[in-house]
Amino acid sequence: MMKKMLCAILAVLTAASMFAACGVASSTSSAAGSTSQSGSGASGEPVELEIHFHSDNRHTLVDKDGNLLPVFELAGEATNTKIVNTANPVAQNSMEQFQLQAAEQFPADIYGGKSIKNTLIGYAMQGAFIPLNDLIDEYAPNIKAYLEENPDYKAAITSADGNIYMIQFRQAGTTGKAYFIRQDWLDKLGFEKPTTFEELETILYAFRDQDPNGNGEKDEIPYINERWRETIRLVNLWGARAYSSENFDDRTPVDANGKIYHAWLTDEFREGIEGLAKWYKDGIIDPQTFTRQTNTVKQLLWANKDVGGMTHEWLASTTMFNENEDILARTPDFRVESFLPVSANGEPFEEHRRSIAQPDGWAISANCEDPVAAIKLMDWFFTEEGNRAANFGIEGESYTMVDGKPQFTQEVLDTGAVNIYLRENYGAQLNLGYISVYDYERQWTNEAGIEAYEMYEDADIWSNTWTPPLNFTMEELKVYNRVISPLNTYQDEKITAFITGKEDIEAGWGAYVEQCKKLGADDLVEITQAAYDRYLAAQ
Ligand code: CA
């Protein structure tokens, strides 16, 4: 009876889960009970642990030749386990890979990845992943200590049913992204950094018209972004919110009165989109912003050509262009610097900030034969040694200890995008369950980046309406999974059409709002409110 009911609920969760539904629930309860007879430990034959970890549509625990990455070799040695990667290293869609595993009832021991929380917890509450609470208490002293010292993190990773299923990734620090502008162009045209919306707009139009790159052509692109969804965030300049977490799919912030609302349906948002449509038409926004490939834009528009003016982006990976030798050989004055947010309406604010627990991490399958070995491996990443490996890689190779602190080698720093290099070559900086330290990033953030970090931290200009990581009940998850993808896909299409002028905002806005409601925008707000109220009550 219970099993039937669970299967019925699960079947509507996602299409893929229909394959998985019924076998999973039945095999659940025995797994947690088997922990006490585990033979895992520091001595004897290593315990084999199969791990399916797939993130960013490309990263797994192995390198291009299929060899286990050094951090996981080290983790295996330290915990007497033999880590076996079971994820397909050349597959290009992490979520698809995860859902394929669901269809096979999650046969590996550990599952992990980026942005998998809601999907994974949905399966977990049906028994596909085991509760970790007792395992942590008994076998994971380092995770346990961290949870005791960080109740906000503990609350964020505790599911609506009171269980912890997933050890989640946490990034240190608050500042993630900031506004950056070409300081050399400002100097050339005789501007100070903008402190008001009007000043910013004047500067962007001057970038367009006054040939700051000096080649005699009107080829400047005043505003650029690596991701077009980040460009949508510019509605912040008109006082509107766009996203409620670091995830572009989360669009339901909380207002000053504790009310959740859908950011993409407000009058302020419409005003912001009208502003962006004008900027797009006027050539202020990159005309190709909606079609460019992620992580090629700054390289293309700053390094290959000298045409990009302003952006809102990550600190380290943006300011590193100040030290790009090719750029400096061509444009010796090239320099991007940060400035604080401005606003056409009301108080300026920075919307983006780092979450106390990312929807990334890993969990133990109900099919895991040795959950004690699995939790001990996870616990190792909360030891000093494991945390250092996850952040910095391998001592003597990617870092050395200097005055008791890990310091990246010059070879690593010279790679530029240190995080990507570490992921691909060491298995450090993958979004598994560990705590990232800011010092890792500070080391490859140059002076302009650190200046931005300190400016934003000091100004404390974040909207106080950042939605904390929320945990849905099964019923709420059902609604979430039904609504989120069709609604966001529709919104992305329509808002893009409004900005690019393919559709008229005045004529189309009413129908857009109506359709969003038909697709469940109000239901989404309702379940988010319920989860947020629970979060507040748990404080
Ligand atoms: Ca020019």
Distance 217 CA to ligand 1 centre (A): 4
The whole-angstrom separation of Cα 453 and Cα 441 is: 11
The whole-angstrom separation of Cα 129 and Cα 121 is: 8
Distance 290 CA to ligand 1 centre (A): 23
Exposure pattern of 46-82 as b/e (b: 16+ CB <10 Å)? ebebbbbbbbeeebbbbeeeeebbbbbbbbbebbbbe
The whole-angstrom separation of Cα 522 and Cα 516 is: 8
Distance 343 CA to ligand 1 centre (A): 28
**Ranges in the chain, pLDDT < 70:** 1-43, 463-466, 539
Q: Judging by beta carbons within 10 Å of its beta carbon (0-12, 13-18, 19+), is residue 539 exposed, middle or buried?
A: exposed
- Measured over the CA atoms of residue 181, residue 185, residue 189 and residue 190, the dihedral's sign is positive
Q: Which residues contact 154 (CB under 8 A, 6 or more apart)?
A: 147, 148, 164
The whole-angstrom separation of Cα 523 and Cα 282 is: 37
Residue 177: strand pairing partners: 314
Cα angle, residue 130 at apex, residues 369 and 365 outer, rounded to 5°: 50
Distance 63 CA to ligand 1 centre (A): 42
Condensed to tens digits (0 to 9), the pLDDT of residues 258-297 reads 999 999 999 999 999 999 999 999 999 999 999 998 888 9
Strands 221-223 and 308-314: parallel
Distance 306 CA to ligand 1 centre (A): 8
Contact predicate 432/360, CB 8 Å: yes
Per-residue confidence (pLDDT) for residue 281, from 0 to 100? 98
Q: Return mean pLDDT, the chain.
A: 90
Contact predicate 50/84, CB 8 Å: yes
Phi, psi of 179 (to 5 degrees): -80, 135
The whole-angstrom separation of Cα 327 and Cα 305 is: 9
Per-residue confidence (pLDDT) for residue 11, from 0 to 100? 38
Distance 338 CA to ligand 1 centre (A): 22
Instruction: Provide, for the chain, the percentages of residues in helix, strand and coil under a 3-state DSSP scheme, each rounded to the nearest 5.
Output: 50, 15, 40
Per-residue confidence (pLDDT) for residue 42, from 0 to 100? 52
Per-residue confidence (pLDDT) for residue 43, from 0 to 100? 66
Sole residue written with tokens 């010279």: 414
- The region, left, alpha or beta by phi > 0 then psi within -120 to 50, assigned to residue 295 is left
No. of helices (H) and no. of strands (E), the chain: 25, 11
Distance 226 CA to ligand 1 centre (A): 21
C-beta atoms surrounding 282 within 10 Å: 13
Closest CA to 389 of 416, 429, 431: 429
Distance 447 CA to ligand 1 centre (A): 28
Distance 205 CA to ligand 1 centre (A): 13
What's the first-to-final CA gap in the chain, in angstroms? Answer: 36
- pTM across the whole model: 0.79
Q: Which residues have their alpha-adjacent CB atom under 5 A from ion ligand 1? A: 211, 213, 215, 217, 219
Per-residue confidence (pLDDT) for residue 16, from 0 to 100? 37
